[in-house]
């Protein structure tokens, strides 16, 4: 298995633009998580899905952020409009089952909003 | 709410010496605790987990962690550090919803000095 695949690896955009981050989880995994990593706040859980259904989005900073999982093999995190404070590394992770199994992380998307 | 704290931002240790990376936790109910490692420009990788049972948990790359309920700690240890162990280490605790949503500490940067 190729692991969790995220695209793009790097994204540079201007304030006000729409940004879409993509994630392909490991096949067969039924949980998908979006995390954001910054120096100031560390790793923050933004939202997670179970069987394509959003379970907890309490970590989503504000309405500018939205996430979807249209099928078991694809998820997007969208920021519209983007702001400089959104600059961070965004990680997607997946896991199988709810019996405390480990999370598998993608390599992340480094987002810079100018 | 579930949370973990990593009191040290940075730990330096000489190669060959034992290392300890500290973590304390605060949970309601039974703690489900994890350690992850992050190498530069990579996603997090699972090292080990404590769910129940033996207080000494063994994990990947020769790491182990000791669960101490009275001190609410879950310190990561290794008997003999390698230069290749230099990385960012995260302690994590599972959320309360019963799923694998993890809440991470702020991370500790381990530097092993040759």
What does the pLDDT average to over B33-62?
92
Residue in A43, A102, A107 closest to B90 by CB: A43
DSSP code of residue B84: G
B94 pLDDT band, cuts 50/70/90, is confident
Which pLDDT tens digit goes with each residue over B1-13?
Answer: 788 999 999 999 9
**Averaged over B5-30, what is the pLDDT?**
94
Question: How high does pLDDT run on average in chain B?
Answer: 92
> Residue B3: what pLDDT?
87
For residue B110, the model assigns a pLDDT of 97
Position A90 scores a pLDDT of 97
User: Taking every pair of C-alpha atoms in chain B, what is the biggest distance, in angstroms?
Assistant: 44
CA distance B107 to chain A (A): 7
Six-digit token pair at A61?
């900073």
CB contact under 8 A, B98 and A42: no
- Dihedral sign from CA coordinates of B5, B88, A40, B29: negative
What confidence score (pLDDT) does residue B28 get?
82
The pLDDT of residue B102? 85
Alpha helices by DSSP H, listed for B38-109, are none
Q: Nearest-CA residue of chain B relative to A106?
A: B43
- Kindly give, in sequence order, each residue whose CB lies less than 8 Å from that of residue A41, ignoring residues fewer than 6 positions away: none
Query: Is the pLDDT confidence value at B16 over 90?
Result: yes
Is the CB of residue B60 less than 8 Å away from at least one CB of chain A? no
Among the partner-chain residues B95, B98, B100, the one whose CB lies closest to the CB of A103 is: B100
Residue in chain A nearest B107 by alpha carbon: A42
Query: pLDDT means per 10 residues in chain A (114 residues)?
Result: 91 97 96 92 91 92 94 97 96 84 91 97
For residue A25, give both structure tokens: 């989880």
pLDDT score, position A41: 85
CA distance A7 to B80: 37
Here the contacts of A55-60 (C-beta below 8 Å, separation 24 or greater) are A55/B97, A55/B99, A55/B101, A56/B95, A56/B97, A56/B101
Predicted pLDDT of residue B30: 82
* Contact call for residues B102 and A103 (beta carbons, < 8 A): yes
What is residue B62's predicted lDDT score, i.e. its pLDDT? Answer: 95
């Amino acid at each position: 298995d190729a692991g969790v695949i995220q695209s793009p690896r790097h994204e540079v955009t201007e304030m006000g633009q729409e940004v879409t981050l993509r994630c392909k989880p490991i096949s067969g995994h039924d949980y998908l998580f979006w995390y954001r990593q910054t120096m100031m706040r560390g790793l923050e859980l933004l939202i997670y899905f179970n069987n394509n259904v959003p379970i907890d989005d309490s970590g989503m900073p504000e309405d500018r952020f939205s996430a979807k999982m249209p099928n078991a093999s694809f998820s997007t995190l969208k920021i519209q409009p983007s702001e400089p404070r959104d600059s961070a590394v965004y990680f997607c992770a997946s896991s199988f089952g709810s019996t405390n199994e480990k999370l598998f992380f993608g390599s992340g998307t480094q987002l810079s909003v100018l | 709410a579930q949370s973990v704290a990593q009191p040290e931002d940075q730990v330096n240790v000489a190669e060959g010496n034992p290392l300890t990376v500290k973590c304390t936790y605060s949970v309601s109910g039974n703690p489900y605790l994890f350690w992850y490692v992050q190498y530069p420009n990579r996603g997090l990788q699972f090292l080990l987990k404590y769910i129940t049972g033996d207080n000494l948990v063994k994990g990947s790359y020769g790491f182990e962690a000791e669960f101490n309920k009275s001190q609410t700690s879950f310190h990561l240890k290794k008997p003999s550090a390698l230069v290749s162990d230099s990385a960012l280490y995260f302690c994590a605790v599972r959320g309360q919803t019963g799923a694998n949503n993890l809440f991470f500490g702020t991370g500790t940067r381990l530097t092993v000095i040759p």
